[in-house]
Homo-oligomer: A and B are copies of this chain.
């Protein structure tokens, strides 16, 4: 094996995004033990900062795993085999939730609606009316496969009329758009470090309500997963730092730095940066006569879905961008496979100069 050499890519896909250079530098700090008092200080700061970011007074932490580990942790911990779980599905990652829930033998009530559009919240209202004994409602804030934003606040109001808990996928939304955990009645939210937080992939930042924590602790049958048991993870991140497993120490250094940089920029200011660059991108794409299939009211700022022009070959075009420009953009998934490209402007990849660059390349190559 030769010494590792990695060429810089401009990552404008659905994630991971490029990481901030300061964050990358911080990964090289010497290792501390996961029970070292000095490491606990770092953990405490990260927990506090995540609580501010999620806007919660309850609990926050990061799982040593990808965003999908957060997804599975929620489904494993917040419902038991045979429990009714309503999963709002309008994209590829919602379908992954269904797949996981089925493996866990939950009684899944899939609430499927058209890909590329916000789900009508009355669908949830009806489903809960029919199934008032639902244990858990799951929704996705920013569907990375379709570029659609869901109204999580509105769904949360509906859930709060029932006894169910409310779990939200914030993988692509956290730090990129408004998210208010406590006031939107969320019980569990999970995200990924590698998107709007400008950190490398490998951690799943999460928030957990006190109610959900107590529910997990008091389950007579423990969650089938020990590694993803959110109550044990919360106990390690809590003030007593009860040991569970050896966490990804270096990745947590990176998360610390990315949260520090976020505080420096300001959370609202980062949301605004995502809005402004997305607006600039969309304007430029429309000027190039490229079609944006998602309606203005439904679309995300972090991820813009564009219709692939008929004369362009999907795979060949994306390979050309990689090989000739060292730019990565995303392909369509599921119902959108072969029909769209996905351009992500998240975290460190959310820069005005990158918007100029990708518009230039599209102008030349399409």
Residue ranges of A at the interface with B (Cβ–Cβ < 8 Å): 1-4, 6-9, 11, 13, 15-19, 24-34, 36-38, 42, 45, 49, 64-69, 72, 76, 96, 99-100, 103-105, 192, 194, 200-202, 222-228, 244-251, 253-254, 256-257, 259-260, 263, 322, 328
- Number of copies of this protein chain within its complex: 2
A201/B249 in contact, CB under 8 A: yes
Give the chain B neighbours of A7 by CB distance below 8 A: 30, 38
Bound form: Cα–Cα A362–B245 in Å: 29
Q: How far is the CB of A228 from chain B (nearest CB, A)?
A: 7
B1/A256 in contact, CB under 8 A: yes
- Picked from B29, B66, B96, B256, the residue with its CB within 8 Å of the CB of A248 is B66
B227/A228 in contact, CB under 8 A: yes
- 21 chain-A/chain-B pairs, Cβ below 8 angstroms: A1-B49, A3-B257, A4-B42, A4-B260, A6-B29, A6-B30, A11-B32, A16-B33, A18-B30, A31-B194, A65-B69, A66-B227, A72-B226, A96-B226, A99-B226, A100-B226, A200-B248, A201-B247, A202-B249, A202-B251, A227-B228
Given contacts A6-B253, A31-B16, A250-B27, contact A245 B67 (CB under 8 A): yes
Q: How far is the CB of A102 from chain B (nearest CB, A)?
A: 8
Q: Closest B residue to A200 by CB, please name it.
A: B250
Given contacts A25-B28, A27-B250, contact A1 B263 (CB under 8 A): yes
Bound form: Cα–Cα A45–B3 in Å: 11
